[in-house]
Structure 1
Amino acid sequence: MKLSQKEIKTLLKEWNLAWEKHDLDKVMTLFHDDIFFENWTGAYIKGIKALRKAWEPWFDNHGDFRFLEEETFIDEQHQKVLYRWVLEWPSTESGFEDKPEIRKGVDVIHFKDGKIINKLTYTKTTIEIDNKRLPLHL
């Protein structure tokens, strides 16, 4: 099943709304059972159950986060999306705990059977806190 460009746009709107509402259940419905997720550190997870288990603490402990869409490119033929985002959240960086942090990144998203099968996340190596650019720590 291939999604049309309009269907991909609709799915991404659902995706953004689910993240905005911190609705992990809804976010998970958009993933294929065989999801491959690679985070910004290069660590990866295979399978929807493993991804949910990995994300539950993040959703529980970082309730005041939001992703803002900056730019989206859709390749309908190949069922791929390039999604550029900004993450605003309370920092976990040493010495800056709970201060507002801005992190920028890109997700490369592939679809299969109408669901997200691959989500590859890349982020800048700097963050912004108090209008200052700082190096991102692992």
Structure 2
Amino acid sequence: MTRDDFDTLFRAFNRHDIDDVMSYFHDDVIFETVSGDNAHGTRIEGKDAVRTQFEATWGTMPDVQWRNESYFLFTPERVVSECTFIATNPDGTRQHADSVDLFTLKDGKIASKRAFRKNRPALKAA
């Protein structure tokens, strides 16, 4: 995958276009979320489960966006992305925090996505 592919992927995330987003993911993808009971957050395995998780995030935070994205292509198998996560929580408070994703690629698709985000208190509702 190229930098242009990642630009297109993040535009699809921001449009909440699940079919386009999932076209970049390997069938056996592993997604480690920013939070959960384990050191790695919550681990979600398989393309269908990851799809469900992304749709749940968009359902819970319908205005969620990933902005100011930049990518560092270290090898053909590894990509690092930085962006700012912006969303309104169901209670009206806002999230606005810098984040990083570590991607591993396999067969030209994303085989793992490990998400990290600054632990910042929610902002007051607008």
Q: What is the count of residue pairs matched by the alignment?
A: 119
Moved more, 103-112 or 60-69: 60-69
Partner of residue 14, structure 2 = 20
Give the distance between the partners of 1:70 and 1:53, measured in 2 at CA. Answer: 23
Match runs of 1:87-106 below 5 Å: 87-92=85-90, 97-106=91-100
Give the distance between the partners of 1:91 and 1:32, measured in 2 at CA. Answer: 29
Partner of residue 135, structure 1 = none
Larger Rg: 1
> Stretches of 4+ moved more than 4 A in 1?
none
Partner of residue 43, structure 1 = 42
Partner of residue 9, structure 1 = 3
CA shift digits 1:52-104 (9 cap, x unpaired): 12222222232111101343211134x21111111111135xxxx32332022
Aligned residues of 1:69 and 1:83 also touching (Cα < 8 A): no
Aligned residues of 2:66 and 2:86 also touching (Cα < 8 A): yes
How far does residue 128 in structure 1 lie from its aligned partner after superposition? 5.7
Partner of residue 108, structure 2 = 114
Structure 2, unmatched stretches of 5+, are 36-40
Aligned residues of 2:32 and 2:43 also touching (Cα < 8 A): yes
Partner of residue 59, structure 1 = 58
Partner of residue 74, structure 2 = 75
What's the TM-score once normalised by structure 1's chain length?
A: 0.77
- C-alpha root-mean-square deviation of aligned residues, in Å? 1.7
Task: Report the residue type matching 1:46 in the other structure.
Answer: E
Give the distance between the partners of 2:17 and 2:116, measured in 1 at CA. Answer: 22
The structure 2 residue matched to 1:84, chosen from 82, 85, 93, is 82
Partner of residue 34, structure 1 = 28
